[in-house]
Structure 1
Amino acid sequence: MKKIKFIYKCLFCLTVSCFTSCQLTEDIDDYESLFTLNAFDAIADEASAELALVGAYSGFKQRSTASGLPELFMIPSVLSGVGVSARPSVEFDAYQNNDPTSQNTTSNLGAYTRMYDLINRCNWLIQGLNNLDSSKFDNPARYAEVLAETKALRATANFYLLRLWGQFYDVNSIYGINIRTAPALSSEAFPRNSVAETYDAITADLDEAIANAPDFTSKLGISKTYAKALKAKVLLYKGEFSQAATLAKDVIDNSGANFALASTYAEIFDNSSEATFSSSEYLFITGGGPGVFIGIENFWGTFFVAPSSTFPSTVAAGITDVGGQMISYDNNRVSSMFGFDNFKFGRPYPKIYHLRMAEVYLIFAEANARANNSVTLEALDALNAVRLRAGATTTGGDGFETYPATISLTQFLDAVRIEKMVEVGGESGEEWFDLVRFHFVDGFDVTTIKASATDPDKFILPIDLQTIEAGGNIIEQNPGY
């Protein structure tokens, strides 16, 4: 056991030094340290591969107060107005004003490098597996599963990078991210890939996970179902609506009891015991426990980002007149989320919700309607399923009701956007990326939700100048910064 722990420590240290050091001036191949294991030889069997996989998963857990991980999920919610800066911070005040700064950032730089650190961990493991034969595993079938899980983790990190620092809304844009498919062996910087190339890399990794990841282990691990659902989300972002709808529908209809809408909204966020990690609602989560912090529970609340006092009124303004019937959004999800600190990320068993079933229903609803250019019965049922779970009624009257079939396509798409804001708001910033997508797809005026969001160039974050300068200006800055 001590040997395994030592191998992991070596992998961890090498991974961090490979990527994050801006002072690295010589190739790793030229540097030898006492008491270390050559990373090329570290993954030698199933046990060492499994341990390295644990290290890759842990990239979604906070290591220090300056790690950038919690900010990765909070910054977009501040951009959207769901959250506000809880204490004086030049950087977070800039996000609140939708005018991010590109110099001397802590959160922006930390979140950016943290995802590349996770990707580098994945790349070391993938290289190690490629140098092995499945016969080295006690369970040879596990070889393909470990490789598939690792690639899905890499796809997840790349997707997070693209939607914050790349023009994810324009598949023809040159401003994607830097795709790394091999371990970093030096401080050499590489140019950015296009958005199309970035999406291709993400979907290729997800395709392997769909084919070879485990059917199910736990909600803390990657499964075929998560990979399929994430690909549906990626295709929605790309504008490939028909394919997105097909995949999302497959997840909804064919995933079995392990993946289904939870009975009630409140139970999703019951953080009282470890049993909460097994909810059918989750497709993939990162979880903590007593004394095991994931980071976001320390930041969302009053420490760094607080719930916005204007969010409930933003939701209330979403009342829709459908054929004379006034349809509103329930206040229960909003008030429970913002009634006290850390409802969604409470202790002692906090979670990061990478993807859950309610969002898959809403992905299907939007993608199906866009693909058919009409509100189909299937799309309407998917939207109403999320509302019914939250307590909506079907009386035909006013209030928190299910949507009737008379709803127009324009009303329906906006209803899906608002429903997602109410349902998953503050979890990963998805409500912000929806605003950005709807702006570029439909011409939606983001200032009707966030008055300061006037500059579309500032809908994505700048790459911190420290990263650009450390790479010899090889990495091109986003327009407008």
Structure 2
Amino acid sequence: MKKIIYKGLIMAISVGAISSCTTEDLDPTLAQNKSVEQSVNNVGNLFSILKGVHSLMSESGYYGQDVIITNEVRSDNTFSIGNSGRYTTESQYLYNNNTDLIWNNAYEVIANANIIINANLENLEGDVDYGAHVQGQATAIRALAHFDLLREYGQQHTGSGNLGVPIVTEYKGDNLFPARNTIEEVKAAIYSDLEMAYSMMDSQYDDSKVYISKLGVKALESRVAVYFGDWTRARDAAEIVVNSGEYSVISADSYVDSWQGDGGVNVIFELAASQVDNAGINGLAYMYQINADGSGYGDVVARPEVLGIYEDSDVRLGILDTSGDWIRNTGKYPDNVNFTNNIPLIRFEEVVLNYAEALMETGGDALTQLNKLPANRGASLYAAATKDNILLERRRELIFEGFRFDDQLRTGMTMEAVGTDGMIMETIDYPSYLFAWPIPLSEMNANSNMVQNDGY
């Protein structure tokens, strides 16, 4: 963890300096032994570090590829054919502790966020109110990173143990080798951060969807609450977003094309991508697609039964290419040439589905919310809002975005390990140690307080 935290600071400074700060703005000795409070001089410095945080999140070791693809190939949506040898062990549930998955990247994000969160605004030049908003954004991102770590490494679906992940709230704290907190402690910390973020942020500063907004915090809270089955909290958080009037479900005739643009009416929070960034072979598009010129790995393909979850009239079939030997996603994250498609992390459609499920669990009008999706997708409306119908609609709408694995686990489904030929290698009953990723070997070797998950 010590290495992760220090590396995070260096990344924050380098990205921030390149983004907008001059050498007069941001002291280059910040990565050494000087205190953060003395080195961050103005509110602009905080925003520069926040930009660095988002850059880290878009890397292939986090939302740029790993967290999304890994959670797709372990679900009943997709598997890896091993065209480039990638994601086969995940698809087959044969992974081990030699890989860190998102561990290092997520803790780098947290380290950078903590620099922003713990800065003393009273000592900074600039708009203090805007500084508080930026601190709120960083607090929300810290919550998201802890949530991502918990759902990947926590023991909540293993059938034994109550360990989550270490909660890190200081950049240079006294405890450089933290132990794992419990699942409940991590959950409480996530909720606390989301509540704090919402109270600190001012919507007048929400001028770009590539940074989390005040409403985005509530959208994220609804996601977390659905995952944990905290239905009243999920309902109340989603209701604020749905009733805000700021977003809408993308229409049927715009659905496929909407993935080619950025900042649509349904996008709440997305990570920016540009030709300069050029994710290339490490991007989502390369994992899903093979172009006519042969570019793209196309490792991740849909399982054949995916076609059966859609009606012929459903516009969501338009994101699938069925012309070859495999069913491929060519509609979501489609730019496999310049790699300029932003990565939506929170769409309004997800929040509507969160709201529908929470209403169903608390006795509200879930059907009205659920039917907002098929009504805008050329599909038949549902006659009832059941758990199965809601999970089906989530699968239809959120496929290839990394949600299905969590949906299956939180509802106790049996999982299947799939080989590169598409054949089922093993059926894995819930719960299982395989549903928690192993703590990386590098972390185990460096931190004597770390406890490995069972089975590794």
Residue aligning to 2:455: 480
- The aligned runs of 1:71-470 (5 Å cut-off) are 71-87=66-82, 92-102=87-97, 104-105=98-99, 109-127=100-118, 129=119, 131-133=120-122, 136-168=124-156, 174-184=162-172, 188-215=176-203, 216-253=206-243, 255-257=244-246, 259-264=247-252, 266-267=254-255, 270=258, 272=260, 276-294=261-279, 295-302=283-290, 303=296, 306-311=299-304, 313-314=305-306, 316=308, 318=309, 331-338=314-321, 342-347=330-335, 348=338, 349-372=340-363, 376=364, 378-392=365-379, 401-404=380-383, 407=384, 412-427=386-401, 429-439=402-412, 444-447=413-416, 452-455=426-429, 456-470=432-446
Against the structure 1 CA distance between its residues 212 and 263, is the aligned structure 2 distance closer, same or farther, given a 3 Å change threshold?
farther
Within the alignment, does 1:44 sit opposite 2:41 as a pair?
A: yes
How far the C-alpha of 1:314 sits from its partner, in A, is 3.7
C-alpha offsets along residues 69-106 of structure 1, whole Å, 9 cap, x if unaligned?
5112110101014232243677722211233322x22x
Against the structure 1 CA distance between its residues 267 and 402, is the aligned structure 2 distance closer, same or farther, given a 3 Å change threshold?
closer
CA contact (8 A) 1:97 1:453 kept: no
Selected match of 1:56 from 53, 56, 60:
53
How far the C-alpha of 1:132 sits from its partner, in A, is 3.4
How far the C-alpha of 1:386 sits from its partner, in A, is 0.6
How far the C-alpha of 1:155 sits from its partner, in A, is 0.8
Q: What amino acid does structure 1 have at the position aligned with 2:446? A: A
How far the C-alpha of 1:37 sits from its partner, in A, is 8.7
How far the C-alpha of 1:247 sits from its partner, in A, is 1.7
CA contact (8 A) 2:8 2:111 kept: no
Aligned residues: 411
Q: CA RMSD in A?
A: 3.3
Distance in 1, matches of 2:170 and 2:30, equals: 25
C-alpha offsets along residues 269-327 of structure 1, whole Å, 9 cap, x if unaligned?
5455xxx322121111002122223533343335456443424x2451x58xxxxxxxx
TM-score normalised to structure 1 length: 0.76
Q: What amino acid does structure 1 have at the position aligned with 2:262? A: F
Name structure 1 gaps, 5 residues minimum: 1-8, 17-31, 320-327, 393-400
Distance in 2, matches of 1:35 and 1:203, equals: 30
Q: What amino acid does structure 2 have at the position aligned with 1:290? A: Q
DSSP-derived class of the 1:345 partner:
coil
Range that drifts further, 71-80 or 182-191: 182-191
CA contact (8 A) 1:166 1:460 kept: yes
**Bigger share in helix:** 1
Distance in 2, matches of 1:304 and 1:224, equals: 38
Distance in 1, matches of 2:333 and 2:284, equals: 7
CA contact (8 A) 1:171 1:195 kept: no
C-alpha offsets along residues 454-480 of structure 1, whole Å, 9 cap, x if unaligned?
1522122112222212213x2111223
Q: What amino acid does structure 1 have at the position aligned with 2:44? A: A
C-alpha offsets along residues 239-283 of structure 1, whole Å, 9 cap, x if unaligned?
211221122122111x223x22222374465455xxx32212111
Name structure 2 gaps, 5 residues minimum: 1-6, 15-27, 291-295, 323-327, 419-423
Report sequence identity in percent. 23
Distance in 2, matches of 1:153 and 1:68, equals: 13
CA contact (8 A) 1:229 1:360 kept: yes
Against the structure 1 CA distance between its residues 301 and 329, is the aligned structure 2 distance closer, same or farther, given a 3 Å change threshold?
same
Against the structure 1 CA distance between its residues 13 and 241, is the aligned structure 2 distance closer, same or farther, given a 3 Å change threshold?
closer
How far the C-alpha of 1:153 sits from its partner, in A, is 0.9
Distance in 2, matches of 1:198 and 1:260, equals: 32
Against the structure 1 CA distance between its residues 384 and 159, is the aligned structure 2 distance closer, same or farther, given a 3 Å change threshold?
same
DSSP-derived class of the 2:65 partner:
helix
Selected match of 1:12 from 10, 13, 26:
10
Distance in 1, matches of 2:285 and 2:31, equals: 36
Distance in 2, matches of 1:250 and 1:187, equals: 38
C-alpha offsets along residues 29-81 of structure 1, whole Å, 9 cap, x if unaligned?
xxx9899794623311122122111112211122xx77785112110101014
DSSP-derived class of the 1:479 partner:
coil
CA contact (8 A) 1:86 1:304 kept: no
TM-score normalised to structure 2 length: 0.80
Residue aligning to 2:447: 471
